[in-house]
Amino acid sequence: MTLTAKTLTAKPATQRLRITLRGAVQGVGFRPFVYRLATELSLTGWVLNSSAGLVVEVEGPSEQLSRFEKRLEQERPKASVVTVRESAWLTAKGSTRFEILASDHDSGKTVNVLPDLATCNDCREELFNPANRRFEYPFTNCTNCGPRYTIVVDIPYDRPNTTMRDFVLCPACREEYQNPSNRRFHAQPNACPICGPKLDGTIEDAAEALLQGEIVALKGIGGFQLLADARNRDAVARLRQRKHREEKPFALMMPSLEMARSYCEISPAEVQLLESQAAPIVLLRPKGGTDIAPNVAHCSPYLGVMLPYSPLHHLLMQECRFPLIATSGNRSDEPIAIANDEAVVRLKDIADHFLMHDRPIVRACDDSVVRLTRGRAGILRRARGFAPLGIHVGQNLPPVLAVGGHLKNTVAIGVGEDVFLSQHIGDLETVEARQAFERAIDDLCRLYSFKPEVVACDLHPDYASTQWAEKSGLPLIRVQHHQAHVAACAAENNARGAYLGVSWDGTGYGLDGAIWGGEFFHVEDNQFERIAHLRPFGLPGGDAAVREGWRSAASLVYAALGRDSVFLESTGNAVADARVIYMLERGINVVPTTSVGRLFDAVASLVGVARQNRFEGQAAMLLENEIGPLRIEEAYPLKSGDWGPLIVAVIADKRAGVAVPVIAARFHNALVNWILEVAAKAGLKQIVFSGGVFQNRYLTEHAAAALESRGFDVYTHQQVPPNDGGIALGQVVMSGRQ
């Protein structure tokens, strides 16, 4: 007691405080901000960027130091993300001024690399101000905005470690770069028309080409984009045909929020997402009767919309003033092109016109996709604007590299308590995609000077990622697909203690060799007990049934009502039906599955909404879309996951002429009720949803609301996708507990 009193009274008037901040703290103007704040409060000391984070030492009267601490948190740069903050009191050193010290390169690389940031308001104003020296300069940026992840070669994030190293700053830019009170102080990609990157071609020509219905390849931030006039049906059709993309919706770039409002319903939360620094594609509800060509989104319930996020996009959209399709510059299933010479070769049969520049892109980064679910932003594709921000999981991780799944692949590494997830790489279907996957692994490890000691992969023996892991020569941890799904969701939500994991998707390799996808796990201390699952059924033709949902329909009808009903309910050809019945009767090439995704396919096929998936999850999406604004409570029976009575009821409704939206709603409600049934039995308060099926907003929101009204806590994905793009995160955290 006396000691405390004595310490307090003996506290010297001048103290020194060291604060270390980790997270996304470099390249966002943090040092000049600290400099201004310390100077304003008459504190002395220094600030420096180290590869372990941002370190500040401030010295002065203790009240001023508390003020400094408080304002450091409250007023820090908007783009910064602080994941860990440590402070320590030191003895005063009697320093006389405050300085910004040179970066220190020694400590371990645990600092986050920042994602690319959308053009800030200040830069945008300068861009359109004829009196400004950067008027209409397509590469302007400052510490609050501009490219980061796509130009950084190594960390720490300093100009010589970026693709801007070959552009020598002119005197005016250098002055800005060196002046702590300037918005461009240490803005690594700082540039102007005199010293910076230049366009190869003109914005006017590109805009004219678009207006003429041509397809333009534009070198953007994370790679080439293919652009077309979204109002021009022929142009859109040509793009689909050349890109080999049948019906998957295209995203749009709109010149302004005002124009986006004229095409879509946009809530205030969605405005925030559109205008955020990540500037992702936001899935919005389209208004009817607009001039957007019908083949842009086909029957999708959403229109993916983004706003211009680089000065080049701003200038082009200012010239066009109409909505453009902006899709990744690749042929389907290939990675996005990033280099000029590569793009000219790979995109020559797709694009009619190119607009390029001479600022190199280090790594491909697609546009991210976000949608509001349960009133919160949920990422569906995590790339530009988010990658490679770390996800703090609050558990110490081993040096593990996780190679993810097969579709929508991402890879991840565990560093300390953070998981660094790569940008979306794509489906590992082609040689090019598998090369991109290998590049992403090398890149992530090199950037963080990371040497994996273990590799985590999926159980599926045929995944290209699993095969890579097997050849890596490192100790292997095989993680079951659906366990990885829920572990990822629990980790990003920092859910502690036991939970019920609801893991529903299209396909994943089960512990028994069957195709799982309708699983419930009781999870406690990393022990996964599969406590419930969908009643298994046969998938005739295996992988073929993933594309052709009518096969699942035939199988379920065959099991529930017998072979004659298959012919009655089928809308397709009798020969194909007969072949499937033959397979089912003899068990030839029939793979057992518990997949809820395939159950969606079957119901969508039975009611005539979709007989096949032209892209992953299409039939389920169309079935959800059928519900529209309809709100009904009735549900089909799905007790204990037995789909038999459900299939009988669906067919009875269909024969009775019940409207498809009603059938769709009753089907979704059946799934909600089944979750409630299992949750009531499991006796766990925390419920975690994951897997591609939970991209279904109706299902997610209704199930979450029903559980919450019964006192459960529900966790859904926000920072990583519920689809297989989130698998790598789950693999990392599960390796950490083994």
Which of residues 29 and 692 has its CB atom nearest to Zn ion in the complex? Answer: 29
**Under 8 Å between Cβ of 217 and 305:** no
Interaction with Fe ion in 506-525: which residues (CB under 5 A)? 508
Which of residues 492 and 724 has its CB atom nearest to Fe ion in the complex? Answer: 724
Residue 170 engages Zn ion in binding (rule: CB under 5 A): yes
Which of residues 115 and 506 has its CB atom nearest to Fe ion in the complex? Answer: 506
The site partner of 418 among Zn ion, Fe ion, none (C-beta below 5 to 8 Å per kind) is none
The site partner of 505 among Fe ion, Zn ion, none (C-beta below 5 to 8 Å per kind) is Fe ion
Residue 164 engages Zn ion in binding (rule: CB under 5 A): no
> Residue 228 and residue 245: Cα distance in Å, rounded?
14
Q: How far is the CB of 440 from Fe ion (least distance, A)?
A: 19
Q: How far is the CB of 126 from Zn ion (least distance, A)?
A: 8
For residue 734 the two structure tokens come to 């599960």
Q: How far is the CB of 279 from Zn ion (least distance, A)?
A: 13
Taking CA atoms, 680 is separated from 426, 687, 693, 717, in Å, by 38, 11, 21, 22
Burial string for 84-116 (b: 16+ CB within 10 Å, else e) reads: eeeeeeeebeebeebebeebeeeeebbbbbbbb
Question: Residue 59's CB: how many other CB atoms inside 10 A?
Answer: 24
Q: Which of 58, 113, 192, 495 binds Zn ion (CB under 5 A)?
A: 192
Question: Residue 659's CB: how many other CB atoms inside 10 A?
Answer: 12
> Residue 708 and residue 690: Cα distance in Å, rounded?
17
In three-state form (DSSP H/G/I as H, E/B as E, the rest C), the secondary structure along 194-227 is CCCCCEECCHHHHHHHHHCCCCEEEECCCCEEEE
The site partner of 90 among Fe ion, Zn ion, none (C-beta below 5 to 8 Å per kind) is none
**Under 8 Å between Cβ of 267 and 291:** no
Residue 361 engages Zn ion in binding (rule: CB under 5 A): no
Residue 123 engages Zn ion in binding (rule: CB under 5 A): yes
Between CA 172 and CA 100, with CA 359 as vertex, the angle to 5 degrees is 45
Which of these ranges, 77-85, 375-383, 693-701, 716-724, lies near Fe ion under the rule CB under 5 A? 716-724
Q: How far is the CB of 28 from Zn ion (least distance, A)?
A: 11
**Under 8 Å between Cβ of 469 and 455:** yes
Which of residues 314 and 522 has its CB atom nearest to Zn ion in the complex? Answer: 314
Q: How far is the CB of 196 from Zn ion (least distance, A)?
A: 6
> Residue 36 and residue 30: Cα distance in Å, rounded?
10
Total residues binding Zn ion (CB under 5 A): 10
Site string for Zn ion, 68-107 (x = CB under 5 A): ----------------------------------------
Which of these ranges, 92-100, 142-150, 580-588, 624-632, lies near Zn ion under the rule CB under 5 A? 142-150
Alpha carbon distance, N-terminus to C-terminus of the chain: 45
Which of residues 418 and 505 has its CB atom nearest to Fe ion in the complex? Answer: 505
The site partner of 454 among Fe ion, Zn ion, none (C-beta below 5 to 8 Å per kind) is none
Q: Which of 116, 505, 569, 577 binds Fe ion (CB under 5 A)?
A: 505
**Under 8 Å between Cβ of 531 and 522:** yes
> Residue 693 and residue 161: Cα distance in Å, rounded?
41
The site partner of 724 among Zn ion, Fe ion, none (C-beta below 5 to 8 Å per kind) is Fe ion
Which of these ranges, 135-143, 224-232, 270-278, 580-588, lies near Zn ion under the rule CB under 5 A? 135-143
The site partner of 195 among Fe ion, Zn ion, none (C-beta below 5 to 8 Å per kind) is Zn ion
How long, in residues, is the chain? 738
> Residue 429 and residue 443: Cα distance in Å, rounded?
21
In three-state form (DSSP H/G/I as H, E/B as E, the rest C), the secondary structure along 652-711 is HHHHCCCCHHHHHHHHHHHHHHHHHHHHHHHCCCEEEEECHHHHCHHHHHHHHHHHHHCC
Interaction with Fe ion in 527-556: which residues (CB under 5 A)? none
The three-state secondary structure class of 284 is strand
The site partner of 339 among Fe ion, Zn ion, none (C-beta below 5 to 8 Å per kind) is none
Residue 168 engages Zn ion in binding (rule: CB under 5 A): no
Which of these ranges, 363-371, 466-474, 596-604, 722-730, lies near Fe ion under the rule CB under 5 A? 722-730
> Residue 341 and residue 217: Cα distance in Å, rounded?
13
The site partner of 566 among Fe ion, Zn ion, none (C-beta below 5 to 8 Å per kind) is none
Residue 159 engages Zn ion in binding (rule: CB under 5 A): no
Q: How far is the CB of 625 from Fe ion (least distance, A)?
A: 21
Residue 602 engages Zn ion in binding (rule: CB under 5 A): no
Q: How far is the CB of 123 from Zn ion (least distance, A)?
A: 3
Q: Which of 38, 55, 120, 523 binds Zn ion (CB under 5 A)?
A: 120
> Residue 416 and residue 418: Cα distance in Å, rounded?
6
Q: Which of 92, 195, 299, 356 binds Zn ion (CB under 5 A)?
A: 195
Q: Which residue bears the tokens 């208004």?
A: 287
Q: How far is the CB of 174 from Zn ion (least distance, A)?
A: 8
DSSP conformational letter for 631: -
* Helix 596-606 vs helix 644-655: crossing angle, to nearest 10: 20
For residue 115 the two structure tokens come to 């994602």
Which of these ranges, 169-177, 242-250, 556-564, 568-576, lies near Zn ion under the rule CB under 5 A? 169-177
Which of residues 313 and 406 has its CB atom nearest to Fe ion in the complex? Answer: 406
Q: How far is the CB of 638 from Fe ion (least distance, A)?
A: 21
Which of residues 76 and 522 has its CB atom nearest to Zn ion in the complex? Answer: 76
Question: Per DSSP, what are the bridge partners of residue 467?
Answer: none
Q: Examine residue 156 and say whether the peptide bond preceding it is cis (omega within 30 degrees of 0).
A: yes
For residue 353 the two structure tokens come to 């016109």
The site partner of 144 among Fe ion, Zn ion, none (C-beta below 5 to 8 Å per kind) is Zn ion
> Residue 247 and residue 238: Cα distance in Å, rounded?
13
Q: Which residue bears the tokens 């130009």?
A: 151
Residue number closest to Fe ion, CB atom: 505
Residue 724 engages Fe ion in binding (rule: CB under 5 A): yes
Which of these ranges, 184-192, 228-236, 322-330, 718-726, lies near Fe ion under the rule CB under 5 A? 718-726
Site residues (vs Fe ion, CB under 5 A) = 505, 508, 724
Contacts with Zn ion, residue ranges (CB under 5 A):
120, 123, 142, 144-145, 170, 173, 192, 194-195
